[in-house]
Amino acid sequence: MPVALLFPTCKRAEGGPVRLALLQLNPLVGDVEGNVRALRRAYEQAVQAGARLVCAGELGIPGYPPEDLLLKPAFVTANEQALSGLAELVGSVPLLVGYVERLRHVDPEQWRPIVSDVAGDPLLSNAAAVLRNGGIETVYRKQRLPNYGVFDEARYFYAGRQAVVVDIDGVPVGITVCEDLWGGGGPVERSAEAGASLVININASPYSRGKRAEREYWASRHVRKAGVWLAYVNQVGGQDEVVFDGDSFVMAPDGEVVARGAQFETDCVLVDLALGERGRGEPVSAGVPRAWVPRLNPVAEVYAALVLGTRDYVRKNGFQAALVGLSGGIDSALVATVAADALGPDKVLAVGMPSPWSSPGSIIDSKALVTNLGVGWLELPIQQMMDAFDRVLAEPSAGGEPGVAEENLQSRIRGTLLMTLSNKWGHIVLATGNKSEYAVGYSTLYGDMAGGFAVIKDVPKTLVYELCRWRNAQGAGEVVPRAILDKAPSAELRPNQRDTDSLLPYEMLDPILEAAVEQDRSVADLAAEGYDEADVRDVFRLIDNAEYKRRQAAPGVKITPRAFGKDRRLPITHGWTG
């Protein structure tokens, strides 16, 4: 009986040399049974397509990153039992897949302990198993454990020290895992020294801008030095803040990429390799077109990451629909557009909450956006609630002039309305703040920061404009109205307010923020490059003062090399000013 193809690129083979299948799957952390079902279906399809080796992602059985689930013995046991059950279903075509291995002991000749073995701590490795003929044939343990940015593998795992090379139809194939590829020397070269002519690198590598170039730089260095082919397989999907972009590839010993998978989509990358002597292979097409997916441009990549990250966060956490507060500004316009593309227009409700300071154009522009997107619309004016708060606070506020507190109250009223609707209907609220605002604290706790997911939390304001322009260029007609793109940024919390009343123009601010947040540059560094020192010091002060706000922000999609959250762990209370 024929099996339905999950991936359109997989076609039945007519014979030929070694055929690799690289599976870009979208696992759910902790859903061990569901992940194994997806692996089994994809494996069966790849075998039907003539694959002689099928490769899935890093920790493909438990999902990545499992974080402190690894400290739960039942979780580790379930993942090992799932591996054994999957192995029983694998035939003569081997399946390479990642899992968590519980170590029975630590051999000092084989292991380099990274964490201390205090009482009760599990002894675990980030492992890759070769399944064949109904059993677990061999296991490779990841040697390089990343402990930076969003990674903290040294918290959980012991590092392997041995190369593993397996025979696939007479071809010696080395196995490595993700970080093993990064940096000079190491596991790839050791695999080659052990006789491998092809090295598989299984990954759970998160997306950020420029990541593809970094991956291919290290891959090229290794294959040129070792004289081997490299197959890089990455998972896809959103997991809390991070998004895995797929983008699997096969690289020849001269550094040429000969096959490539889709970005931000599940895929099955098939490629035939007639390896012959080590390092003298040729990609061929014996019944299978050479796998090649054109790359997205840098702005399209970011947009795709936002869509995938939003879709998976909402759906994997069981929400059926989303609420977006529309102000008539560009940030909420982008969030609503991403939400509509991610979930479908019928799953998005835009809520307009005008105050006396909202310009007539803001409501008109919001309604135009709603029409263009086809999402739902609800209008809830907040004048009466503002008046009620004024009456309650009249005595405590006597003698003081209206100011920031009253301005922020408008935002908090809106946040309260959105969260009440969320509580009533079970929809998730999507916060609309961008990275520039979160960086300098130009946001209101329990107001515009309210929500379950902050879609553009890692998107600088200047990039927000680029993304809206890019989205308008796709398909027929504009989505984000021109009036929204052209108007000066404003919170509209007081008459004639502009963001530049409080901040540098974003074209000046964003480069300073990038240098400070993503590159750890100092005030002195930027002053030496020609920036006004007083401006830089003021920006640095705002960044430091807003740390307590960011700690209370919803998670959001990571798209830059360093996002707020796990990527950047600074104390709230400190006295450093440089």
Residues with active-site annotation: 58, 142, 178
- The amino acid present at 123, given as its one-letter code, is L
CB distance 60 to 39 below 8 Å? yes
- Check residue 15 and give left, alpha or beta (phi > 0: left; psi -120 to 50: alpha): left
Tokens of 319: 């929400």
CA atoms within 13 A on the CB side of 341: 22
Tokens of 168: 């696939």
d(CA 518, CA 498): 27
CB distance 297 to 404 below 8 Å? no
> What is the torsion angle, in degrees rounded to the nearest 10, for the CA atoms of residue 353, residue 357, residue 361 and residue 367?
0
CB distance 321 to 343 below 8 Å? yes
For 173, other C-beta atoms within 10 Å of its C-beta total 28
Write phi, then psi, for 429 (nearest 5 degrees): -90, 130
d(CA 231, CA 281): 13
d(CA 173, CA 167): 6
Coil/strand/helix, residue 505: coil
**Secondary structure letter of residue 518 according to DSSP:** I
Name residue 284's beta-bridge partners: 272
Name residue 167's beta-bridge partners: 172
CA atoms within 13 A on the CB side of 479: 26
What value, to the nearest 5°, has the Cα angle with vertex 440 and ends 437 and 444?
60
d(CA 532, CA 526): 8
Tokens of 524: 């002195």
124's enclosing H/E stretch is strand 124-132
